[in-house]
A = this chain, B = another copy of it.
Amino acid sequence: MSHPVPDLTQAASPTRRRVLDAALALFSEQGYFNTAIPHIVKRSGVSIGSIYHHFGDKQGIARALYADLLEGMDGALAAICHQIPDARGQALAVVEYLFEQAERAPLATAFMLSTRHREFLPDEPPICSSQPFNRMRDIVSRGIARGEMHDGDPAVLAAALFGGPLRLVQLRLDHILPRPLPTYLVEAWEAAWLAVCNTRG
């Protein structure tokens, strides 16, 4: 039932990890284009030769990082959808996960949610069409089908349900919100749920 899958990708290499960690920090703090390879060399302690050996080019670093984080996020959402039956519970768990993750791993969350990946990864599909975001839309579609949420365009309802919480994450990552996100969870969720819940229920 559990999935301990031991890194099918070759992410286990220690140098690879060090480069990805350094790149994540630099990309999140100053942006992809403000980060030169020598910066990554300094911060990671890995030589430029090794970096190019592992990743091919600069885009390759961002690509590997992006795939890595997408996979982690999708795994979390998959687990949620698997363990919780009702759409409301799933959506709440997703928001809770996003809030906790933004505090635990702000750099990773910022790189996932607050970055225009297309500018430096022209071949990647937009993040809205990625697995995790598809799952969010699926939750909403199922919520409508099950009568938990009122009828309507799934895209609009998904925006209404997750738009507020995602905006709060953004504000927190930009250091606008003073308190940790989980302290806003109850209030933010109540408002979000009111926007989509079925009043006939």
Contact = CB atoms under 8 A, between A and B. Distances in A.
A194 B33 CA distance: 41
A159 B159 CA distance: 12
A156 B128 contact: no
Contacts of A7: none
Contacts of A165: 159, 163
B153 A187 contact: yes
A52 interface: no
A12 to B, nearest CB: 32
Given A163-B163, A191-B196, A31 B119 contact: yes
B168 A167 contact: no
Interface of A: 30-31, 33-34, 114-116, 119, 126, 128-129, 152-153, 155-157, 159-168, 171, 174, 176-177, 184, 187-188, 191-192, 194-196
Contacts of A184: 153, 156
A159 B171 CA distance: 9
A124 to B, nearest CB: 12
One complex includes copies of this chain to the number of 2
Contact of A162 (B126, B167, B174): B167
A121 to B, nearest CB: 12
A129 B176 contact: yes
Given A129-B176, A194-B194, A156 B116 contact: no
A187 B152 contact: yes
B192 A160 contact: yes
6 contacts: A30-B119, A33-B119, A156-B168, A157-B191, A160-B188, A166-B167
Contacts of A160: 164, 188, 191-192, 195
A174 B128 contact: yes
